[in-house]
Structure 1
């Protein structure tokens, strides 16, 4: 598969998602970027901004094994991973697989469950495997998490552990739509109550597991020059040197940003990475991997402001 073919697949997926979700083009592009480089994405926004519908429509456009977990305060790790059940006929324990055994997992309102349960996804997201009662079970090669969450200022939510946030390739913040887009939403969905159904809206699968695998292989072949690699490293290291940040981004964040930049280049029809690919993805790739310093919090600064400032300060190669 070449770059043009990947671009054509991405265009078809955008068209299918657009049948159900109005606007959010930047978010769909980030979801495509995550899909084509095997990363996970976290969508954050206030209730009613189509986070769940966006994830469901994106999943519907792909012929992948889909699973969903509705995170609630009483959810337990076994509800995610599964558990061993004793079979009296064979006198052995048999694993009853949880919803994590799928290709594409929607973790809906992930921050409405305590950190103990959230941590059940750590191994799955990093190693694509789960361990139950000492036995390791391999997940799908395509295993991808699309998680949604409400802002931490909302009631009844828990902050995600830093180790789990670091496993997400992107954190995308969804805002309210423009007046024009909101008018289209009212006209399209204002005639019926309840959650719109992507199937009823005509969203059809346009890519299967083999196609996604071929796209991922194409992304891996994209050229990343030593100068661009150095730029990624300098940008990530600048987060550890900033006085406004108590904790900077990890080396894993740099490797993930480089891979995402390759996928971004492919979506733009190129087989090589340019600095603008890195700049475009730096904010969603780093905003959840750093922690503000107490002094910056007192001054009312935000993580987004600090990262944008670092992007402006770090010299990009020509």
Structure 2
């Protein structure tokens, strides 16, 4: 496997500078992912959803001018779905031939020199993963009645996995890890998540953004929650809170983002709880031992954020 040089990628420092602003709070991860793929390595990104993994890849492939071919790992991702198949109607008319073969996402990425991005990698069947191992090791794949396809130099396989999800997943073999680099990607810090929410919602209220990010981050720390919400939950909470306030004629506070949520109008805070129920209740996953509901847990988080924590921090 050869690394990509100047014709495809140009100077790595220049590439990084061009795309750094598109990926908030991911300076280190951008460096490591960019270095790995530029060196010709395939890569596993291990982390919860909503941590900018696909954003990183889209920024890199867009800058290189190559496709990002997305495929979801699940029980239906058979080798034939991944590699491709002969067009049945043309087979009946013409018999099997390379011309009536329909490329799957793997061959599409190989021919066009793109990144094959496999989400939920450890949900794919073992024989499908074995097909990817061949492509990784040899950069070629042989298809019956079609021939041998050789990958373009910029072809990479990038996989993602959620470490919190153990339902319907399989343990990856040492053969997989031996052929791929691995990077753990965690949540961004609070400041970066506030910047993401501001960009995605176009919100002019630092108060709404700070509250949405604060309660969402608290879902990741609550003892009854096995997996909390990603920043996508904060984005939806902010959007819903703004729409509800506008519909109900409630003035939105415009405090500084770093100020505690102290002495806020009750109509605003109660509306925010409504937004949390809709935006976050489906995004949190309770612990198996928890005897409660998502709504009750969100009520506790709301109470701590708006009532208890600000009171405990009251000067004097």
Show the counterpart of 2:295.
none
CA RMSD of aligned residues (A): 3.0
TM-score by length of structure 1 reads: 0.53
Q: 1:167 aligns with which of 159, 169, 179?
A: 179
SS at match of 2:131: helix
Distance 2:58 2:119 in 1: 10
Change (3 A) 1:123 1:26: same
Offset, 1:29: 1.2
SS at match of 2:128: helix
SS at match of 1:61: helix
Distance 2:141 2:9 in 1: 33
Q: Is the CA contact (8 Å cut-off) linking 2:8 and 2:64 kept in structure 1?
A: no
TM-score by length of structure 2 reads: 0.54
SS at match of 1:18: helix
Q: 1:71 aligns with which of 48, 73, 86?
A: 73
Distance 1:8 1:79 in 2: 34
The superposition leaves residues 215-237 of structure 1 with CA deviations (integer Å, 9 ceiling, x where unpaired) of xxxxxxxxxxxxxxxxxxxxxxx
Q: Which sections of structure 1, spanning at least 5 residues, go unmatched? A: 196-318
Q: Is the CA contact (8 Å cut-off) linking 1:83 and 1:132 kept in structure 2?
A: no
Q: Is the CA contact (8 Å cut-off) linking 1:108 and 1:147 kept in structure 2?
A: yes
Show the counterpart of 1:234.
none
Show the counterpart of 2:84.
82
How many equivalent pairs are there? Answer: 192
1:157 aligns with 2:161: no
Distance 2:6 2:156 in 1: 24
1:26 aligns with 2:28: yes
Q: Is the CA contact (8 Å cut-off) linking 1:77 and 1:117 kept in structure 2?
A: yes
Q: Is the CA contact (8 Å cut-off) linking 2:140 and 2:151 kept in structure 1?
A: yes
Higher helix content, 1 or 2: 2
The superposition leaves residues 146-169 of structure 1 with CA deviations (integer Å, 9 ceiling, x where unpaired) of 21111165433222222122111x
Which structure has more RCO (C-alpha within 8 Å, separation ≥ 6)? 1
Distance 1:91 1:126 in 2: 32
Question: Looking at CA atoms only, which structure, 1 or 2, has the larger radius of gyration?
Answer: 2
Distance 1:18 1:185 in 2: 14
Show the counterpart of 1:93.
97
Q: Which sections of structure 2, spanning at least 5 residues, go unmatched? A: 204-230, 234-316
After TM superposition, the structure 1 = structure 2 runs for residues 192-211 of structure 1, keeping only pairs within 5 Å, are none
Q: Is the CA contact (8 Å cut-off) linking 1:83 and 1:96 kept in structure 2?
A: yes
Show the counterpart of 1:190.
201
1:58 aligns with 2:60: yes
Q: Is the CA contact (8 Å cut-off) linking 2:70 and 2:116 kept in structure 1?
A: yes
Q: 1:139 aligns with which of 151, 168, 176?
A: 151
Offset, 1:184: 1.3
Offset, 1:9: 2.6
Q: Is the CA contact (8 Å cut-off) linking 1:52 and 1:148 kept in structure 2?
A: no
Distance 1:63 1:5 in 2: 11
Q: 2:49 aligns with which of 23, 31, 47?
A: 47
The superposition leaves residues 239-259 of structure 1 with CA deviations (integer Å, 9 ceiling, x where unpaired) of xxxxxxxxxxxxxxxxxxxxx
After TM superposition, the structure 1 = structure 2 runs for residues 1-318 of structure 1, keeping only pairs within 5 Å, are 9-85=11-87, 87-94=91-98, 95-101=101-107, 102=109, 103=113, 104-133=115-144, 135-151=147-163, 153-168=165-180, 170-191=181-202
Q: Is the CA contact (8 Å cut-off) linking 1:69 and 1:105 kept in structure 2?
A: yes
Distance 1:153 1:4 in 2: 39
Offset, 1:173: 0.3
Change (3 A) 1:194 1:88: farther
